[in-house]
Amino acid sequence: MTEVIIVGDAAQGGRLVAEAVWSLVARRAEAVLGLATGSSPLPVYDALRDHASRLAGVRGFALDEYVGLPPGHPQSYRAVIDREVVQPLGLDPARVRVPGDDIARRLASGDSRALAEAGERYETELDRVGGVDLQLLGIGSTGHIGFNEPGSSFASRTRMKTLTERTRSDNARFFSSPDEVPMHCITQGLGTIGRSRHLVLLAFGAQKARAIAEAVEGPVTSAHPASAIQLHPRVTVVVDEAAASRLRFADYYRHAWANKPEWQEL
């Protein structure tokens, strides 16, 4: 069963996950972290600032990136990762990768294969470093993780996808107008995400309650991509009371957390 931890607030959840990162880095200084964007992982990044120097050797791989934004656009996920993770935590920018980092340069040089090859190039980079040790995840209202929209194959690899209108609408708050939200993205696939050794999904607020309940306790179905976490051997879901409000087994999750053996890691 997926481990579900119900916390008092997002800050508490962030500190809890940061402790898991510290423990990982203590064992492996060059650990590979899977980086998510959006509001859910921000408390983790905030908590990691307390001992950022410990992260000097880590590598980071982002989940996804928009296609079609100009280089340097403030809402590109490269810019977001640099702004919210790399700079505050003092990470080496050369050790943090985002899908399609070189697409704009290759397209500008007339390389028509840039988009078609971006996914496999990212998969090769992930394989080269031995895969992700701890993958941070958020969850969208459609149940997407990364940009794997409903209908995504559980075996999918990094590739270009078309965003649903619901996702574009949800993300429009970050842009001047809904029309500016890109139609396409490059995202790690559910199969790629599933190869990470530890998945940590965070969700806070009542607006995430339905998506969390379906991901954790609903049927495993491509109609709700996040339900793929139920097939993974090591998953931790960190939610506040509002996001946990639709969980049928919430009392058991609280009981299990309160009685977790001291030797057992997050």
**Which residues, listed in sequence order, are joined to residue 96 by a DSSP beta bridge?**
60
- C-beta separation of 31 from 134 below 8 A: yes
- C-beta separation of 25 from 58 below 8 A: yes
pLDDT at 116: 85
Distance CA 179, CA 171 (A): 11
Closest by CA to 264, choosing from 8, 15, 47, 23, is: 23
Cα distances from 247 to residues 3, 137, 219, 244, in angstroms, run 13, 19, 14, 5
Q: Is the pLDDT of residue 98 over 80?
A: yes
- Minimum mean pLDDT among 4-13, 69-78, 241-250: which range? 69-78
Contacts of 139 (CB under 8 A, 6+ apart): 40, 145, 201, 203, 208, 211, 212, 215, 226
Tokens encoding 160: 């270009």
Reported as a pLDDT band with limits 50, 70 and 90, residue 100 is confident
